[in-house]
Amino acid sequence: MTDDAKATNGKLQRAKPHSFYEIFGWYGTCTIVGAYVLVTLYPGLNKQEILVYQILNLTGSFGIASISFLKKVWQPFALNVLWASIAVFGLLHALI
């Protein structure tokens, strides 16, 4: 049996293609890791770079939170709601 097929009650079914939320979840994972690499390798960020960093964290956390909510996986959902809240605070702090 191939990876993209599953047997259910003796019938072979094709796996559904990736949904928007699956792709958004992977986007979230990549952006949060990318933002962490950015701030680790370049700790002296200017205001423009801080805004980019916070936007990456905000959109990334929305991606992971959305797929976690749909799959009812509550620990990463809660973590990423908190992560998004911190990113909003960081954006407001950088803009004010």
User: Which pLDDT score, from 0 to 100, does residue 29 have?
Assistant: 94
Structural domain total, the chain: 1
> Residue 48 domain-assigned?
yes
Q: What's the pLDDT at 1?
A: 47
In a domain, 87, yes or no: yes
Average pLDDT value for residue range 60-66? 95
Q: In which domain, by residue range, is 31 found?
A: 20-95
What pTM did the predictor assign? 0.74
- Domain for residue 67, yes or no? yes
Residue pair 68/76 in contact by the 8 Å Cβ criterion: yes
**In a domain? residue 86:** yes
How distant, in Å, are the alpha carbons of 18, 37, 39, 49 from that of 42?
34, 8, 5, 10
In tens, the pLDDT along 9-58 reads 666 555 565 788 899 999 999 999 999 898 888 888 888 888 999 999 99
Both structure tokens of 39: 């701030």
